[in-house]
Every structure is written in structure tokens, then in C-alpha cells.
Amino acid sequence: MSFRYSASSVDDVVDDYFVDKLGEEHHHHGEVYGCYCSAMSWLSLEIMKVLGSSLGVGCSHFRHFFAGNDSIMRLNYYPPCQRPCSLAAAGAPSATHAGAFIVNIGDTFMALSNGRYRSCLHHTVVNSRVPRRSLAFFLCPEMDKVVRPPGELVDDHNPRVYPDFMWRALLDFTMQHCSRVPCRSLAFFLCPKMDKVVRPPGELVDDHNPRVYLDFTWRALLDFTMWHCRLDMRTLLCSAPVL
């Protein structure tokens, strides 16, 4: 189950969600999860202060950026699985333990830090004996926020890694294209138009540096990734038609 939490809303959007989706009898659950989200929002903003200080931009910069956060709360339930190893390959290795509290860096903060902090692929390790439950709070800026790094993180030695983008645009793209695939959504979001042909400029190809990959369209790579959940471009190019 996933639902929205808004730090700037005057309404209790979490409680309203539970009552609307599950019925009035779940009003208490909505209140409990609303309080939990509020606490997680506060804790996340404290973590933003630490991250801002670590990057030399002051403790208030990122805290202010996320102050009115429009975040996402996700409740996960994983029943016992008889072949847990087959699921472990779905993403990056994870050393999660029962009762652990984990902080992951996501794509948004990777862009805000101009690539200084790296987002991580994450997957959950299940087991064959007992169910697993997890509560994930995704700290998100307000929908109309423009994501750009502070000027202190950009100079001649550290040029811009990502262009400006609206948080709403990245969220919409992730929900549409990357929800089923263990990939870095930012890398796919900042991509060429669908019909663009990907090929290196002629100056990079000669007798000593022959072509490594065939021409392909961005749409072909995206479609292949969405259907096969693979990030290895060499696999695509083994079967891609030459343009």
C-alpha cells in the first residue's frame, strides 16, 4: 500500500486516505500512520541538515528545500518465499536486517548534490520461513519544485551533472516507466527523444577506435529494458537491427 503525506497540507491526508479507501472503521489506523509520517518527515529534515553541512552549503539549505515536502509512504508485506534466492537477483545486493532503520539516497538528492551523493538500487531480501514487513518513507519535495544543486557545488572542476527539472516530471516518469524495473530512474528520465538514433560522432571512430555498438533508437533500448528488466546494453545490441 502506498499513500501520500503532505507536510504543508492543513488536512490530514493520511487519515482521509485510510477512511476513503478502507472505511470509517480504519480511522484509527489513519491517525497512527499520519503521526508516523509526521515523525518521519521531521527526522528526514534533520537528516537534510546533516547532509547540507557535509556538502558545505549549510544545514538549512536542503532542509528548507524539503520543508513543505509532499512525500510518499509505502507499506510492504512479503510472504514467505520458497525460492528467495531467485528474487534476490532483482536488484542490487542489500544487507537489510530485521528491525533495522535504513537511510537510502535517491535520485532526487543525487541531482541536488550535483552527483556528490549517489543514489542506490535497492531490493528486499525475503526468506522461506517468516513474512517480512517494511515501512518506507520517501521524502519528496513539493510538486512544483525545480530540482537544481546549490551554486556552491558547481564550479570549473565540478560542472553541472544534471539539468534543471521539475520534481513532478521525474515522479510521473518514474511511475510510468520505472516502477517495474530495478533501474536508476534519473538516468532514463534525462534521455533523448524516443526516435533519436544513438550513435557516436565520427571524430570518435577510426581504425584504432572502431565502432563498439551498432546504431539503435532510444525507444528500442527503453522498450527492451521495460520488458526484460535488464540494464546490459550489450544484450540489446546482440539482437537489435542495424539502422
| Residues noted as catalytic | 132
Type and span of the H or E element at 78? strand 70-78
* DSSP 8-state symbol, 178: I
Helix, strand, coil percentages for the chain (3-state, nearest 5): 40, 10, 50
**Residue 171 neighbours by CB under 8 Å, 6+ apart:** 140, 143
Tell me the β-bridge partners of 134.
76
Find the distance separating the first CA and the last CA of the chain, reported in whole Å: 44
